Amino acid sequence: MHESVFASGFRTFLISFFKIFGIILGVLLAISLFSYFSGGSEKEVQQEYSLEIAPNSKGVRKALSKTAPVILVLPISGVIGGEVLNAKNMEQQLIESREGSLAGDRVKAIFLEMNTPGGTVFDADVIYRALKAYKEQYKVPVYAFVDGLCASGGMYVAAAADKVYASDVSLIGSIGVISSAYLNLYQLLEKVGVQTLTLYAGKGKDELNPLRPWKPGEEEQMQALIDYYYKHFVEVVTSNRPQVDKEKLIKDYGAEIFAAPEAFKIGLIDGNGYSRSMALNELLKQIGIEDDFYQVMRFEGKSWFSQIFNSHNPLLGGKIQYELKLPAEMDYHFANQPLYLYRPDSK
**What residues are annotated to the active site?**
152, 205
Question: Does residue 294 contact residue 71 with C-beta atoms inside 8 Å?
Answer: yes
- Terminal CA-CA length for the chain: 71
Please list the residues that pair with 178 across neighbouring strands: 339
Residues 6+ apart with CB under 8 A from 251: none
3-class SS at 115?
Answer: strand
**Do residues 345 and 174 touch, judged by C-beta distance below 8 A?**
no
* CA–CA dist 299, 51 (Å, integer): 5
Q: Cβ contacts of residue 209 below 8 Å, gap of 6+?
A: 198
Residue 169's φ and ψ, nearest 5 degrees, are: -90, 5
Q: Would you say 337 and 123 are in contact if contact means Cβ atoms under 8 Å apart?
A: no
Q: Helices 121-138 & 87-96, crossing angle to 10 degrees? A: 20
Rounded to whole angstroms, how far apart are CA atoms 298 and 87?
Answer: 17
Q: Where do runs of H (alpha helix) occur along 68-216?
A: 87-96, 121-138, 153-158, 186-191
Pairing of strands 338-341, 118-120: antiparallel
In angstroms and rounded to an integer, the radius of gyration of the C-alpha atoms of the chain is 26
Contact (Cβ atoms closer than 8 angstroms) between residue 259 and residue 149: no
Taking 3-state DSSP, the helix, strand and coil percentages for the chain, each rounded to the nearest 5, stand at 40, 20, 40
The C-alpha atoms of residue 159 and residue 153 are separated, in whole angstroms, by: 10
Taken in order 150, 133, 248, 339, the sign of the CA dihedral is positive
